[in-house]
DNA sequence: CGGTGCGTTGAACGCATTCAATTGTGGTGG
DNA sequence: CCACCACAATTGAATGCGTTCAACGCACCG
């Protein structure tokens, strides 16, 4: 395959930074994925747990006719692919050229069995995923297109490190499949927010967005 | 009265059936809620974990203008209200007259801290909630009204003990708020499925539904 | 009985989708 | 260097699915 491995140098505290165990260290390695390539597929055995070192990842489910629902975007620092079953429940793909660090799931499980700290961390991470999914159900079930896009921008603003500008790594179609809309509707909503004076476009591509009026966006988010 | 739920004669092993600890027993008590009453509210401190003994419960979030998204229905045997944060993330209400068993959350946490079996069970339960939410995101984001209602019927068919008939404890509005639709759309979809020969209505109220053609429903569910 | 809650059905509307055309950018090769 | 193509994004016009508004039927209950 295309991906090549690096030796694991020194990294934030803990194995996967957040997946901390008491007195153990795990062996990790790194992998590179080119834009658009699959990291793992839905229902494949969950052999590894991943952390984004650089780049961005989308996790999605497909219906038989190709309709796609992206459940989450994984940004730098995020851990993903953590399953307690044997199989992945999403397909994960690199949105752009991406480096991930990975650790064998079984080595985690083995340690967690006797290490309350790690076990606790696994629960906290799962809970945080659950919380995100619960909030997203409300968005998908009950919010309008404009509200969804506003919520999305605020989420990205919070999660992306960028100081003033939100530099989106994903295309309009990805945003649409995350928000349960079409790419045209996302585009129209962004244009409307631009007309409202809530945001400005910066780059040559339209993925760098300056949030001018966060209060207005927050009001739309309800 | 209205729909009657089968009393569950034997209770699963463990304190809250599924929330099993190694060598400990927790003190539990029971509580009755009349139809429509709140069990706990969103953002209230999460003092107890609950299990449905009889009846049914809805968990939902509200937007400021009253739009409601039901995240889950809790049926006989189900555990709900399990949070790892201090606060509940949903409001829980009795759909019909309901009896719940409850145990203090802190007593669980205390034991889980040193009991890997219980800790593991907490993780498994949280994961199962997460899995449900992930599937529901796909439904809310990408499925048509007919597909949603078909999926709902199959879910209830699987989870309700009833042999041949699905005896829904909830009204059309609850179903709608669970599926991200209006009650009229739910009603129309059910009528259409009836016309298709996929189901029959039984009781005087329209909540007892016999699934005649599960294959057809499953095909709609995609 | 009238009142209320629940469910169904019809008709009109509207938001988001679908279909389509256009623009701009980056990459590739002649 | 520019012609060419693929891809991303915007915008307009028409369509349609689900919503909104409204009327009605029915069971239950005081």
Chain segment B204-219, per-residue pLDDT in tens: 889 999 999 999 999 9
Determine how many CB atoms are found less than 10 A away from the CB of residue B41: 12
Give the pLDDT band (50/70/90) at residue B12. very low
All structural domains of chain A, each given as residue ranges with its CATH number in brackets, are 29-136 (2.60.120.10), 143-221 (1.10.10.10)
Which helix (DSSP H) or strand (DSSP E) does residue A53 occupy? Answer: strand A48-54
Which residue among A61, A137, A142 places its CB closest to the CB of B133? Answer: A137
Under DSSP, the state recorded for B2 is: -
Within its chain, how far is the Cα of B202 from the centroid? 23
List pLDDT tens digits, range B35-61: 999 999 999 999 999 999 999 999 999
Q: Which residue has the tokens 């927010």?
A: A193
Query: Terminus-to-terminus CA distance in chain A, angstroms?
Result: 46
User: Cα(B222)–Cα(B219) distance, rounded to whole angstroms?
Assistant: 5
- CA closest to C17 C1', residue: A182
* Cβ-contact A98, A37 below 8 angstroms: no
Within its chain, how far is the Cα of B135 from the centroid? 14
- What is residue A62's predicted lDDT score, i.e. its pLDDT? 98
Give the pLDDT band (50/70/90) at residue B16. low
User: Cα(A182)–Cα(A30) distance, rounded to whole angstroms?
Assistant: 35
List pLDDT tens digits, range B135-193: 999 999 999 999 999 999 999 999 997 788 999 999 999 999 999 999 999 999 999 99
Tell if the CB–CB gap between B63 and A143 is shorter than 8 Å: yes
Per-window interface: A 120-139 vs B, CB < 8 A: 120, 122-124, 126-127, 129-131, 133-138
CA of A187, C1' of D4: distance in angstroms: 27
* Cβ-contact B116, A114 below 8 angstroms: yes
- What is residue A19's predicted lDDT score, i.e. its pLDDT? 63
Whether the CB of A149 is less than 7 Å away from nucleic strand C comes out as: no
Burial of A72 (0-12, 13-18, 19+ CB in 10 A): buried
- What is residue A1's predicted lDDT score, i.e. its pLDDT? 36
List the beta bridge partners of residue B45.
B87
Query: Terminus-to-terminus CA distance in chain B, angstroms?
Result: 36
Which helix (DSSP H) or strand (DSSP E) does residue B40 occupy? Answer: strand B38-40
Determine how many CB atoms are found less than 10 A away from the CB of residue B91: 20
CA of A203, C1' of D2: distance in angstroms: 25
Q: Which of B48, B91, B45 is nearest to B69 (CA)?
A: B91
Give the pLDDT band (50/70/90) at residue B7. very low
User: Cα(B16)–Cα(B52) distance, rounded to whole angstroms?
Assistant: 10
User: Cα(B106)–Cα(B186) distance, rounded to whole angstroms?
Assistant: 40
* Cβ-contact B211, B166 below 8 angstroms: yes
For the ranges A32-41, B89-98, B115-124, the lowest mean pLDDT is seen at: B115-124
Longest CA pairwise span in chain A (Å): 57
Which helix (DSSP H) or strand (DSSP E) does residue B69 occupy? Answer: strand B68-74
> What radius of gyration, in Å, describes the C-alpha atoms of chain B?
18
Angle at A12 between CA A6 and CA A13, to 5 degrees: 120
* Cβ-contact B146, B139 below 8 angstroms: no
* Cβ-contact B123, A109 below 8 angstroms: no
User: Cα(B125)–Cα(B17) distance, rounded to whole angstroms?
Assistant: 11
Which helix (DSSP H) or strand (DSSP E) does residue A201 occupy? Answer: strand A199-201
Tell if the CB–CB gap between B116 and A113 is shorter than 8 Å: yes
Q: Which residue has the tokens 């006719």?
A: A65
Residue B221 three-state SS: helix
Give contacts of B140 with chain A, Cβ < 8 Å.
Answer: 137, 140-141, 180
CB-based contact, A6 to chain B, within 8 Å? no
B79, pLDDT greater than 60:
yes
- What is residue A204's predicted lDDT score, i.e. its pLDDT? 85
Residue ranges of chain A with pLDDT lower than 50? 1-15
B82, HSE (Cβ side, Cα atoms, 13 Å): 28
Under DSSP, the state recorded for A102 is: E
CB-based contact, B180 to chain A, within 8 Å? yes
Q: Which of B135, B157, B142 is nearest to B72 (CA)?
A: B135
Q: Which of A107, A42, A219, A65 is nearest to B143 (CA)?
A: A65
Burial of A12 (0-12, 13-18, 19+ CB in 10 A): exposed
Give the pLDDT band (50/70/90) at residue B19. low
- What is residue A23's predicted lDDT score, i.e. its pLDDT? 65
């Amino acid at each position: 395959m295309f991906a090549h491995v690096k030796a694991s140098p020194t990294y934030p505290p803990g194995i996967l930074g957040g997946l901390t165990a008491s007195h153990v260290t795990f062996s990790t390695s790194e992998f590179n994925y080119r834009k658009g390539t699959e990291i793992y597929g839905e229902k494949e055995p969950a052999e590894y747990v991943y952390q984004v070192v650089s780049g961005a990842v989308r996790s999605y489910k497909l219906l038989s006719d190709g309709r796609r629902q992206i459940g989450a975007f994984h940004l730098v620092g995020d851990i993903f692919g953590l399953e307690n079953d044997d199989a992945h429940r999403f397909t994960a793909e690199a949105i752009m050229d991406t480096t991930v660090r990975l650790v064998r799931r079984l080595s985690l499980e083995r340690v967690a069995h006797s290490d309350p700290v790690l076990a606790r961390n696994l629960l906290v991470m799962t809970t945080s995923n659950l919380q995100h999914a619960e909030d997203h159900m409300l968005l998908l079930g009950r919010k309008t297109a404009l509200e969804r896009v506003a919520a999305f921008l605020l989420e990205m603003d919070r999660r992306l490190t960028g100081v003033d500008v939100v530099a989106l790594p994903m295309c309009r179609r990805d945003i649409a499949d995350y928000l349960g809309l079409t790419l045209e509707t996302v585009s129209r909503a962004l244009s409307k927010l631009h007309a409202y004076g809530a945001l400005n476009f910066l780059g040559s591509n339209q993925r760098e967005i300056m949030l001018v009026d966060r209060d207005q966006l927050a009001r739309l988010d309800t």
